[in-house]
Amino acid sequence: MNGISFVTPYWSGREMMRIHLESIHRYYPAAPVLISKRGGGLEEMEAYRRDFRVQYWLEECEFPDAYIRLLQRCQSEYVCILDHDAVLLASLDPYLKGLAQGQYDLVGVEERIRMPDSIWKSQWPEAGGWLRFAPGCTAANFIMFNLRAFKTRWGLRGVWGKRPHGTLHYEFDYGIGQKLTRQHLLLPFHARRYGMGNLLSDDGKPVLWHQWYGSYRTRLLDSAREPGNSSEPDDRVVYDVVEKGELAFVADYPALDFSDLTPAWGPDRDIRAEQLAIETARPSRLEEAFAGFMLRLRRWWGYGFRGFATRALARLDLWWRLR
């Protein structure tokens, strides 16, 4: 099968999920849409199957496992990986054409995205304003490439990347962009009304909206509702900011307000200087390894025996799929 498929790991956030699927169906009514759904939701997913002809799997697995399972199931030549809070605002056909003609190997957005000044200066001054800072890397909130050619050359193990120097963030799937280096990157902008979300634009043309934290009701629920019960107290602030932005987006869609756009990629920042500062402040490899081990140990203890066994089986399943 040629053409393109859309794949989306999904946890929670049905308001954005329905808009996400409506936007895909608008431009690609016949394209396969593959969804890995965590946390149950049979009735919800059946409604999507009926309305949008999606293919879905209810499976209790972490994001990397869902990601790899979906890529393994994908039969089309090209794939578009999207977060469920990403909404198409235009056809992706020009980019499919560019990929097919060899103008580039990947379409996406660089992991170099700042929070709006109005939010981070009042809520997260210690974060320095970066929502994502991994210059030169791309990740799965929006990425398009020739999956068939990728799997033939590197297999699905090729998805895994190495953490570059001078980054604040790392995602396992950086390996795609590290291998497909001929890239066409969209630029992210902030729209004041929609909080931390980003308009992804190409030469002034809106292409896609990404709201961020689409599963916030589940991901951030405990820390947002039970202060003092989370190792990440900032999540309580994230919850309120994200909820306000998403409610505004859902209320306005499709008549969205992009009248007050500002660059979100930090064009005025000295990126090399910031990377150097990060590396200078970074602990030694031994200290990082020890801290990482202790963090994993606390997580394993928190899972309990059943949770630990479930995750161990998931790791074994992932190893089997990547062998």
Q: What is the DSSP string of 6-34?
A: EEEEE-S-HHHHHHHHHHHHHH-TTS-EE
The larger pLDDT score, comparing residue 240 to residue 73, is at 73
Could you tell me the fold of the domain covering 4-282?
Answer: Spore Coat Polysaccharide Biosynthesis Protein SpsA; Chain A (3.90.550)
Contact 220, 239 (CB under 8 A): yes
Return the residue matching tokens 């890995």. 36
Other C-beta atoms closer than 10 Å to the C-beta of 250 total 14
What tokens appear for 233 in the block?
A: 């107290």
Q: Give the type of residue at 189.
A: F
Would you say residue 149 has pLDDT above 90?
yes
Q: What integer pLDDT is reported at residue 302 of this predicted model?
A: 74
Report residue 80's pLDDT band, with 50, 70 and 90 as the boundaries.
Answer: very high
Report residue 214's pLDDT band, with 50, 70 and 90 as the boundaries.
Answer: confident
The pLDDT tens digits for 19-55 are 999 999 999 999 999 999 999 999 999 999 999 999 9
Mean pLDDT lowest among 64-78, 138-152, 303-317: 303-317
CA distance 252 to 223: 29
Contact 138, 109 (CB under 8 A): yes
The larger pLDDT score, comparing residue 74 to residue 298, is at 74
Contact 146, 180 (CB under 8 A): no
Number of helices followed by number of strands (H, E) in the chain: 12, 11
Across 292-314, average pLDDT:
74
For the entire predicted model, the pTM comes to: 0.88
Q: What integer pLDDT is reported at residue 229 of this predicted model?
A: 38
